[in-house]
Amino acid sequence: MNWYLAALQKYAVFRGRARRKEYWYFVLFNILISLVLGAVDSATGMFHPETGLGTVSGIYALLVLVPSIAVTVRRLHDTGRSGWWFLLALIPVLGTIVLLVFMLLDSEPGRNEYGTNPKTGLRDVLE
């Protein structure tokens, strides 16, 4: 839960790096919360089958849209890629698969152009 909250605290931070743990815990808790809110929408009759969203889960999705993009961009930075690679998600199947592989890759060791490796815990004086 701490990793989810850490990603939310960096609400719109698109610079720096995010390790795999931060990204995947954010995704996990995001899915769990969405499932619970979807159940709440269904139980209260606020689910709209045409859109596939309920009122509460739709509001939640809007609230976490920016942090989701930000943590994905930071994760791409951690693998040594620009955040613009996130646009691969616009390619229906192949782009999503490639982006998934990038999210599964290990961090670039040491420092890269986006900052120090978050796994090392070392603070760089220049940052």
Question: Which domain range does residue 72 map to?
Answer: 2-104
What percent of the chain is modeled with pLDDT above 90?
A: 73
Examine the pLDDT at 126 and tell me if it is beyond 80.
Answer: no
In a domain, residue 122? The reply is no
In a domain, residue 46? The reply is yes
In a domain, residue 15? The reply is yes
pTM for this one? 0.87
- Number of structural domains, the chain? 1
Q: Cα(127)–Cα(123) distance, rounded to whole angstroms?
A: 8
In a domain, residue 8? The reply is yes
pLDDT class of 121 with cuts at 50, 70, 90: low
Least confident span in 39-43, 72-76, 106-110, 122-126: 122-126
pLDDT class of 120 with cuts at 50, 70, 90: confident
